[in-house]
Chains A and B, each alone.
Chain A
Amino acid sequence: AQSVSQHNHHVILSEAASLELGCNYSYGGTVNLFWYVQYPGQHLQLLLKYFSGDPLVKGIKGFEAEFIKSKFSFNLRKPSVQWSDTAEYFCAVLLNSGYALNFGKGTSLLVTP
């Protein structure tokens, strides 16, 4: 079955640590890739997206993600996390032939002071 997998369900980091959240998808065709973030008590917001071109995508708040087609991956990274990055992060995939996003199960990130 086609799916989006996020490897880590819960991540705890200290401030200033580096972050990498894994995302893999199993679709064979052309895809558009997204990372969304949900801060506590807030609605889902787009963090960054990849449609085509440079596989290294920069988003808001210092986040970036790299699309590696051969690995079907779109991992999210940030060199130095802050307490305010505590949130739930969702990877999502849109098939070129599709009309709605398919989401991973999410990764809950807790950044401790």
Chain B
Amino acid sequence: DGGITQSPKYLFRKEGQNVTLSCEQNLNHDAMYWYRQDPGQGLRLIYYSQIVNDFQKGDIAEGYSVSREKKESFPLTVTSAQKNPTAFYLCASSILGDSPLHFGNGTRLTVT
């Protein structure tokens, strides 16, 4: 079955450590996205990528970094510079542009 795989489902880190969240898709979608979901805040866009080796900052990119070396992979690194990293992180993909997003199951990151 085609889909988006995010791993791990739960992640715990100490403050000051960088952590990388995995996102893999086998839908052959060109575009991939990272959103952060906080209670009462909805989904906020962190980064997105329309093609391999290219990505753009979203609304809340500070303290995050991404790479897009392969079409199917779009890992997100939460750096120690992110002031409030504890959140639920959602990866999504789409064919391009105006097509609907397909979401992964998310990774819940807790930083203590």
Contact = CB atoms under 8 A, between A and B. Distances in A.
B106 A43 contact: yes
A94 interface: yes
Interface stretch (A11-19, A64-72, A100-108): A100-108
A90 B92 CA distance: 15
A9 B45 CA distance: 20
A109 to B, nearest CB: 15
Contacts of A27: none
A83 to B, nearest CB: 23
B42 A106 contact: yes
Contacts of B92: 44
A43 B104 contact: yes
**Main SS class of interface, B:** strand
Nearest to B6: A43
A90 B43 contact: yes
A51 B98 contact: yes
Contact of B41 (A4, A42, A105): A105
B42 A99 contact: no
B50 interface: yes
A106 B41 CA distance: 8
Nearest to A106: B42
Interface string A7-40: 0010000000000000000000000101010000
B66 interface: no
B42 A32 contact: no
12 contacts: A42-B105, A43-B106, A44-B90, A45-B103, A96-B98, A99-B31, A99-B97, A101-B45, A103-B35, A103-B42, A105-B40, A105-B41
Interface of A: 4, 6, 9, 32, 34, 36, 42-46, 49, 51, 90, 92, 94, 96, 99-106
Given A43-B103, A43-B104, A99-B48, 16 more contacts: A42-B105, A43-B105, A44-B90, A45-B103, A46-B100, A49-B100, A90-B42, A96-B98, A100-B45, A101-B33, A101-B45, A101-B101, A102-B45, A103-B43, A103-B44, A106-B40
